[in-house]
Amino acid sequence: MVKIKKIGILSLGKIMGILYALMGLILGAILSLISLIGSALSSNGFGIFIGMFGIGAIIFLPIFYGVIGFVFGLITALLYNLVASWIGGLEIETEK
Q: Is pLDDT of 77 > 80?
A: yes
Kindly list the domain boundaries of the chain, sorted by start residue: 2-92
Q: Would the pTM of this model clear 0.85, i.e. be above it?
A: no
Q: Is pLDDT of 76 > 80?
A: yes
What local confidence, expressed as pLDDT, does residue 22 receive? Answer: 97
Angle at 41 between CA 38 and CA 45, to 5 degrees: 90
Given a contact cutoff of 8 angstroms between Cβ atoms, the answer to whether 24 and 61 are in contact is yes
At 92, phi and psi to the nearest 5? -130, 135
Mean pLDDT of the chain: 89
**Residue-wise pLDDT tens digits, 12-54:** 999 999 999 999 999 999 988 888 887 777 767 666 666 677 7
